[in-house]
Amino acid sequence: MGNCSPSCLHKMGTNPLSRFAFLDASRGVAILLMVIYHFSYDLDYFHFVDWDLYNSPYWIHFRSLIVTLFISIAGISLALACRHTLITTAYLRRLSLLIACALLISIVSYLMFQHRYIFFGILHFIAVASILGLLFVRRFWLSLSVGVLCLFVGGWVQHPLFNQPSLQWFGLMTHKPRTEDYVPLLPWFGVFLIGIACGEQLQRLTKTLKRFTQTMQQTGHPLLIWLGKRSLWIYLLHQPLLMGVLWLGMTIKRLFG
């Protein structure tokens, strides 16, 4: 088969893309960790606790772990989606949904936080990476080498040029921008590309993956798989629900405390 470049968008698969349960379960773990992190953030936001989520090494590393899980799984998923031929309608439908949800997050966060609004968070990143990543699928060594290079450049290179608002999405800034969620292209595209490389290797283990998938579906963790299949909607809805409950609790505390 040829490389899954932008030209593969014009090829239509005849069979629906099979879903690997281990990816859903892994995404479910990331969702659980994300809910824990955001609930901790909400507790601090409503002054139930006093935790330094912006500067504490523990919370910084915890967030980095969650972002790494989501992005690497997204890279693996893209590689597996192109393992035969990319299903154009499914890809474009999900990409359009990601872009729409990313814009919604920007609008809502602007209404809530004004100048700290989310202009390039996790959904914005995954949408852009899903487009750029098509140039690298089915190219193991290219995705691996460029991925490592992105990690190195994103981790060590900084320049004032990238501090200007129009380039902050790219990374390489000399300081973190004022925003509630920031996932710049560098170094995180390196994680995405390494995920693609891992996905390429997983394709060689098709029979093993199928057996593992069947085992997980029969005796595995149905809750994690369920969460993983609905990760986008949980991402969109969990914060309004958590913040609504805590706001109600704070209001009741003020009235009767």
Give the pair of three-digit tokens for residue 207.
């029979």
Is residue 210 assigned to a domain? yes
Residue 170: band (very low, low, confident or very high) from pLDDT cuts 50, 70, 90: very high
DSSP SS3 for 120: strand
Is residue 154 assigned to a domain? no
Is residue 171 assigned to a domain? no
DSSP SS3 for 182: strand
Mention every residue, 6+ apart, whose C-beta is less than 8 A from residue 6.
134, 135
- How do residues 74-115 score in pLDDT, each as one tens digit? 999 999 888 777 778 888 999 999 999 999 999 999 998 888
Is residue 236 assigned to a domain? yes
Residue 214: band (very low, low, confident or very high) from pLDDT cuts 50, 70, 90: low
Residue 37: band (very low, low, confident or very high) from pLDDT cuts 50, 70, 90: very high
Give the residue with greater pLDDT, 60 vs 47: 60
Tell me the pLDDT of the chain averaged across its residues.
86
Question: For 221, which DSSP code?
Answer: -
Give the C-alpha separation, 79 to 72, whole Å. Answer: 11
- Alpha helix locations (H) across the chain? 21-45, 57-81, 88-113, 122-132, 140-156, 185-202, 206-219, 222-229, 231-256
Is residue 103 assigned to a domain? yes
pLDDT of residue 216: 56
Which range among 22-26, 34-38, 215-219, 226-230 shows the weakest confidence by mean pLDDT? 215-219
Rg of the chain on CA atoms, in Å: 20
Domain that holds residue 99: 18-134+199-256
Is residue 211 assigned to a domain? yes
Instruction: Quote the distance between the C-alpha of residue 79 and its chain's center.
Output: 15
Q: For the chain, what is the domain count?
A: 1
**Amino acid code (one letter) for 50:** D
Which range among 5-9, 47-51, 69-73, 197-201 shows the weakest confidence by mean pLDDT? 5-9
pLDDT of residue 54: 87
Residue 1: band (very low, low, confident or very high) from pLDDT cuts 50, 70, 90: very low
Is residue 11 assigned to a domain? no
Give the C-alpha separation, 170 to 162, whole Å. Answer: 7
Q: Work out the percent of the chain whose per-residue pLDDT is above 70.
A: 84
Give the C-alpha separation, 71 to 125, whole Å. Answer: 9
Is residue 174 assigned to a domain? no
